[in-house]
Amino acid sequence: MDSSSNGRTIPLPIIPSGLNDRRQVAGYVGSFPFPSFQQAFVIDRNGMLEAVPGLEGQLSSVASAINARGDVVGTYRAVGGSTAGAFLERDGVLTDLGTLPGTTPVAVALNSHDQVVGEAFAFTATFGQHAILYDARLDPPLQDLNNLIPPDSGIELDAATAINDRGSIVCVGTVNGQSTPLRAFLLTPNPSSG
């Protein structure tokens, strides 16, 4: 940014991964990737650094995105253990997003309605990596996005990378089992489905 636009450069004490319009930054302190210790943090518009509540010290955590309200999503792993999962933090309340059977979820992005997207990993020949959606209004709240598209489409969604406030989701995946080239997909909610 230059001085003619009244811009400024501010050094950040964290590794940033998300930013909202209120100039709040989500990220983490520590080295990447897991299993080294990291701590999820948010920096407010005044530059104050605050650990994501509920994740201080006992869990290695990464904040990956922050929405307009300041809600944060990310991923955690128990230090020295195999427990791992995805979280949503809103107003100091931490929600574990749950899991799909036999998988580890990773939260990547969220919208202002606290719908969260990401991916779930399972190191088996039958599952691999699938795109996920968390929405507290669904039953169950955590869904494999592959179960929400037509089963005869030939599409397999590997990861969801963004969701807007209308609920449209951007994913990457494959068509008819062909892993190359990797394809991008835009999923649009069906208003008649509920």
Angle at 27 between CA 60 and CA 137, to 5 degrees: 85
CA angle 71, 75, 81 (to 5 degrees): 140
SS3 annotation, the chain: CCHHHCCCCCCCCCEEEEECCCCCEEEEEECCCCCCCEEEEEECCCCCEEECCCCCCCEEEEEEEECCCCCEEEEEEECCCCCEEEEEEECCEEEECCCCCCCEEEEEEECCCCCEEEEEEECCCCCEEEEEEECCCCCCCEEEHHHHCCCCCCEEEEEEEEECCCCCEEEEEEECCEEEEEEEEEECCCHHHC
Q: According to the per-residue pLDDT averaged within each range, which of 5-19, 56-70, 153-167 is highest? A: 153-167
Q: How far apart are CA 95 and CA 89, in angstroms?
A: 6
Q: Which residue is associated with the tokens 């008649």?
A: 192
Sketch the domain layout of the chain as residue ranges.
14-96, 111-194
The mean pLDDT value of the chain amounts to 85
Q: Letter for the amino acid at 9?
A: T
pLDDT over 70 percentage in the chain: 84
The fraction of the chain above a pLDDT of 90, given in percent, is 52
Specify the range with the lowest mean pLDDT, choosing from 139-143, 167-171, 176-180.
176-180
How many C-beta neighbours within 10 Å does residue 14 have? Answer: 19
**For 79-91, what is each residue's pLDDT tens digit?**
666 678 899 999 9
Q: What is the mean pLDDT of residues 104-128?
A: 88
CB 164 within 8 A of CB 124: no
> Residue 111's pLDDT band (boundaries 50, 70, 90)?
very high
User: How far is it, in rounded angstroms, from Cα 19 to Cα 167?
Assistant: 19
Task: Give residue 58's pLDDT band: very low, low, confident or very high (50, 70, 90).
Answer: low
The pLDDT confidence band at residue 65, using thresholds 50, 70 and 90, is: very high
Across-strand partners of 157?
173
Q: Which two tokens stand for residue 17?
A: 């991964």
- What pLDDT digit, counting tens, does each position of 8-26 carry? 777 777 789 999 999 999 9
Residues 6+ apart with CB under 8 A from 191: none
* pLDDT band, residue 29 (cuts 50/70/90): confident
Least trusted range by pLDDT, from 66-75, 130-139, 145-154, 177-186: 177-186
